[in-house]
Amino acid sequence: MAKFEADLDLCFSALGDPTRRAILHRLARGPASVSELAGPHDMALPSFMGHLKKLEDAGLISSEKHGRTRICDMTPNAFTPARHWLSEQSAIWEGRLDRLDDYVTNLMKERNR
């Protein structure tokens, strides 16, 4: 459980930055080299590499050296834990609305009896 929580910390924190989301959005379409990824971002390479490291530490991307080029790719099912957590909370919230709905319906029935 602690491991799962720590993973969610890293994953959501990694997602909380527009450059990192743009990198993920690009990699969802297919693998890319570091220079290809860095191209659209007006940023010094060390800063950009810092973003890639955060994504890799969060398990959202992986990278591999091919000769002198480092190729990055999105991890399969990268977003599953985050999506699962969000759906779970939304389901609890919707359940609460359903219960409120039932309560009001019953109240109206009692009143009209």
Please classify residue 69 by burial: count the beta carbons closer than 10 Å to its beta carbon, then call 0-12 exposed, 13-18 middle and 19+ buried: exposed
Q: Cβ distance 61 to 27 under 8 Å?
A: yes
Among 28, 43, 45, 108, binds a copy of itself (CB under 8 A): 28
User: CA torsion, points 24, 50, 71, 18, in degrees to nearest 10?
Assistant: 20
Q: Binders of a copy of itself: how many residues, by CB under 8 A?
A: 31
> Is residue 9 close enough to count as binding a copy of itself by CB under 8 A?
yes
Indicate which single residue of 47, 90, 105, 106 sits in contact with a copy of itself (rule: CB under 8 A): 90
Task: Answer yes or no whether residue 13 interacts with a copy of itself by CB under 8 A.
Answer: yes
DSSP SS3 for 79? coil
CA distance to 53, 81, 83, 111, per residue, from 73 (Å): 13, 18, 20, 61
Options 21-29, 38-46, 61-69, 104-112: segment touching a copy of itself (CB under 8 A): 21-29
89 binds a copy of itself (CB under 8 A): yes
- Residue ranges in contact with a copy of itself by CB under 8 A: 5, 8-18, 21, 24-25, 28-30, 74, 78-79, 82-83, 85-87, 89-90, 92-93, 96
